[in-house]
Amino acid sequence: MSKAGSGNRMWGGRFATGPDAVMEEINASIDFDRKLYAQDIAGSMAHARMLTKQGIISKQDAKQICAGLDTILSEIEAGKFEFSRALEDIHMNIEARLKKLIGEPAGRLHTARSRNDQVATDFRLWVKQMMTGLSASVSSLMKVLVEKADNHADTIMPGFTHLQSAQPVTFGHHCLAYVEMLARDKSRVDDAIKRMDECPLGAAALAGTGFAIDREMVAKELGFSKPTRNSLDSVSDRDFALDMLSAASICATHLSRLAEEIVIWSTPQFNFITLSDAFSTGSSIMPQKKNPDAAELIRAKTGRINGSLVGLLTVLKGLPLSYSKDMQEDKEAVFDAVTSLEVCLAAMTGLISDMRINADAMHKAAGSGHATATDLADWLVRELNMPFREAHHVTGRVVALAEKHACSLEDLTLDQMQSVHDGITNAVYDVLSVEKSVASRTSFGGTAPKNVRKQVRYWQRQIAKMG
pLDDT tens-digit readout, 343-360: 999 999 999 999 999 999
Coil, helix or strand at residue 208 = coil
Average pLDDT taken over every residue of the chain: 92
pLDDT in tens, 415-446: 999 999 999 999 998 888 899 999 999 999 99
DSSP 281: B
pLDDT in tens, 67-118: 999 999 999 999 999 999 989 899 999 999 999 999 999 999 999 999 999 9
For range 221-225, the mean pLDDT: 98
Does 282 have pLDDT greater than 90?
Answer: no
Q: What's the rounded Cα separation, in Å, for the pair 22 and 37?
A: 25
pLDDT attached to residue 2: 37
pLDDT higher at 374 or 145: 145
Does 6 have pLDDT greater than 90?
Answer: no
For range 297-304, the mean pLDDT: 96
For range 375-403, the mean pLDDT: 92
% of the chain at pLDDT higher than 70 = 94
pLDDT tier for residue 5 given thresholds of 50, 70 and 90: very low
pLDDT attached to residue 219: 98
Amino acid type, 90: I
Contact 227, 199 (CB under 8 A): yes
pLDDT attached to residue 432: 87
pLDDT in tens, 394-410: 999 999 998 999 888 88
pLDDT in tens, 150-190: 999 999 999 999 998 888 999 999 999 999 999 999 999 99
Backbone angles phi, psi at 166, to 5 degrees: -115, -70
Contact 312, 237 (CB under 8 A): no
Cis ω for the linkage preceding 322 (within 30 of 0): yes
Coil, helix or strand at residue 1 = coil
**270 closest CA partner among 278, 280, 279, 261:** 261
pLDDT higher at 14 or 313: 313
Contact 166, 158 (CB under 8 A): yes
Task: Give the residue numbers annotated as catalytic, written as ranges.
Answer: 162, 283
% of the chain at pLDDT higher than 90 = 81
* In 8-153, alpha helices (H): 21-27, 30-33, 37-53, 59-77, 90-102, 115-151
Q: What's the rounded Cα separation, in Å, for the pair 158 and 368?
A: 8
